[in-house]
Structure 1
Amino acid sequence: MRIPPLYRQPNWQRFFAGAAVGGCISWLIFLFMFGTMQERSGYLLEKQAEDIRKLKDKIEIWQEDYQELNKKNEELLTIQEIEVKLIEFEKYNITDRQSIFNTEEAVKEDLKTLLAKDLGTVYKNRDLVKKTVENKIININGKRYKLVVREMFFYTTISIEAELKLAG
């Protein structure tokens, strides 16, 4: 098997020489274009990394400020409302809802001095609040009842659940 003797024909020699020179030129153009694109991509990546770094720093500063403001606001929280709910009054056959409402309002009236007080101060004196509610004697339908605090929740609203017991 032999290679055809095309090296003797100038047309073929020019074709192969042109293909080799064209291949080299196209390779150089490709390298230039690829290098330019890589340079742009590298610059874009660097810029984006810098933007991300700056934004992370800003987020960290904002979070620190937010946490400080939350701490200050928690210190400044005050009591804004008092809720009292009587439970288990049905076992004494009290069907008069007006009496239950009046009892709840009387307890709220006793605790109204807590309104606009600092939440921390009121929470520290929660035993005193509990004793204030439990020492109250209530007359409903000619019978004397006392209150027993079952649950007390403190936040901007003081929520108290109290149970009626016969006073002995």
Structure 2
Amino acid sequence: MHIPPYHKKVTWQRFFVGMLFGGVIAYCTLIYMYGEMYEQLLKENREYRTELTELRDLNEALLQDKKDLNEKSKEPLTVETLEINIANKNEYRLDRLIVHDLEEMVKKEIKHIIGRDISIIDKSDDLLISSIENKNFTVDEFTYSFKVEKLAIISQTVKLTLHAELAD
């Protein structure tokens, strides 16, 4: 029995090289698709965890506020939600996950204002701004600091627009 020497023919050589390149391209495509899928799942997981912690903190703050309101005759408006926006995230080409982590760190820094009276927050807005601006936040070996561009207290929502900078 004799195996024909296909490796010497040019047409078969092209066929085998084509199979090799096709396999490499298919492998690269598979790795890319897997990476995109994994990144999406990781992002969803972090968002759900964040939402869960926010709802727990909100629940605790509102339960405490309810106890306090039973003692008071007047019902003052309280802060219920925080909205953080990083204005220059495209300037530093920040990844969605990094932006999410930075927003979470800022929310953890100022979460004590949830359930507080809006008039108290309005009076101490300088303290709130300085507590954000004087703190550095580290994500993925980079340290960021923020400048508060806009602080808006709209009914029961506090909206912050921040300008990110790389810290020294």
Q: Distance in 2 between matches of 1:124 and 1:131?
A: 13
Greater than 6 Å deviation, 4+ residue runs: none
Structure 1: state its 5+ residue gaps: 1-71
Q: Distance in 2 between matches of 1:145 and 1:127?
A: 20
Percent identity over paired residues: 25
Number of the residue aligned with 2:82: 82
| Amino acid across the alignment from 2:82 | I
Number of the residue aligned with 1:105: 104
Number of the residue aligned with 1:164: 164
Residue pairs, 1:144-163, within 5 angstroms? 144-155=143-154, 156-163=156-163
Number of the residue aligned with 2:137: 138
Structure 1 or 2, whichever has the larger Rg, is 1
Q: Distance in 1 between matches of 2:104 and 2:140?
A: 17
Number of the residue aligned with 1:14: none
Q: Which has the larger helix fraction?
A: 1
Over residues 74-100 of structure 1, what are the superposed CA-to-partner deviations in whole Å (9 max), with x where a residue is unaligned? x71111111111111222232x11110
Q: Distance in 1 between matches of 2:89 and 2:131?
A: 20
SS in 2 for 1:103: helix
Q: Aligned-pair distance for 1:135? A: 1.5
8 Å contact kept, 2:101–2:139: no
Structure 2: state its 5+ residue gaps: 1-72
| Amino acid across the alignment from 1:82 | L
Q: Aligned-pair distance for 1:166? A: 1.7
**Count of aligned pairs:** 95
Q: Does 1:124 align with 2:127?
A: no
Q: Aligned-pair distance for 1:133? A: 1.1
| Amino acid across the alignment from 1:131 | S
Q: Distance in 2 between matches of 1:104 and 1:116?
A: 19
Over residues 54-77 of structure 1, what are the superposed CA-to-partner deviations in whole Å (9 max), with x where a residue is unaligned? xxxxxxxxxxxxxxxxxx97x711
Q: Distance in 2 between matches of 1:136 and 1:101?
A: 17
Q: Aligned-pair distance for 1:142? A: 2.3
Q: Aligned-pair distance for 1:143? A: 2.2
8 Å contact kept, 2:105–2:137: no
SS in 1 for 2:91: helix
| Amino acid across the alignment from 1:138 | F
Q: Distance in 1 between matches of 2:143 and 2:152?
A: 27
CA RMSD in angstroms, aligned pairs only? 1.8
